[in-house]
Amino acid sequence: MKKQLLFLLLLPPLVRLQAQTQQKPVTDHSSRWSIGLAAGLAVPGGHFAGIETMAGHADTHPGPAAELTVAYRVCRYFDAVVAAGGQLNNGEGIPYGPEPFSQPANVTFRDQNWKIARLTGGGTLNIPLRKNGRLDLFFRELAGIQKTSAADVYKTIPVNPLLPGPLGNRITVTYPGPSFPWTFAWETDAGVNWKWRRLWALIAYTGISGASPATNLTYLVGGDALVTRRSEFSTTTVHANAGIVYYFPY
């Protein structure tokens, strides 16, 4: 009789404990720090997608992109984020007018890749889509700095203009793409975060980033006059990435 009475007294607390255990979110929101890695495709947009060069119209092609993020959870709905990312896009270089005197021609070397690296920081807004914490919709705004190296510009010219001849009588002259100074950059993203384990999550997001790097180039005009011109180029890019996030257990 005493055992039955003890069981009846302990039954309600046990039921409540079981219910709380079943309803516990997959993610431990007390985890403050997290690190994520994502990779995907960077698609040039606007002037970056198709530019006018000395040889005419040329396209800049989609290429690989990657991003490493470190985040600190301020509260359930907001994270502070620092991100380092980059992309590689094959294409033609910046549209020179006359050939730049400060970028001497090279007959052999040719690099047709735009190289972009970014270091940004900002915030992420998390909107829960499920009560158990498994699935979040997130919006992210970042701003920072970008380093850009332009692809080379090249054109084929006759060895002797008076004797054009077949293609064998022509050479390809390459004008090295300049390395632009660090400049302001921004990025905005939207995506989903799916917690498949307590400390692990899968993410997928798409967004747009942009910058307008500029540098001074010196041109030889009229055979003897040197003129310095400011060369600016937009690198607007649409990207789609997917990856994984690890939440540190403290």
HSE, CB side, 13 Å, CA atoms: give it for residue 183. 16
- The amino acid sitting at 107 is V
Domains of the chain with CATH codes: 29-91+111-147+180-247 (2.40.160.20)
pLDDT tens, position by position, 23-59: 445 455 567 999 999 999 999 998 888 765 544 556 8
User: Amino acid identity, residue 14?
Assistant: L
The predicted-structure confidence for 101-136, as pLDDT tens digits, reads as follows 777 777 767 788 999 999 999 999 999 998 777 899
pTM of the model: 0.78
Ranges of residues in the chain whose predicted pLDDT is under 70: 1-30, 51-58, 95-97, 108, 157-170, 223
Q: What's the CA gap between 35 and 199, in Å, rounded?
A: 11
Residue 98 half-sphere exposure, CB side, CA atoms within 13 Å?
A: 15
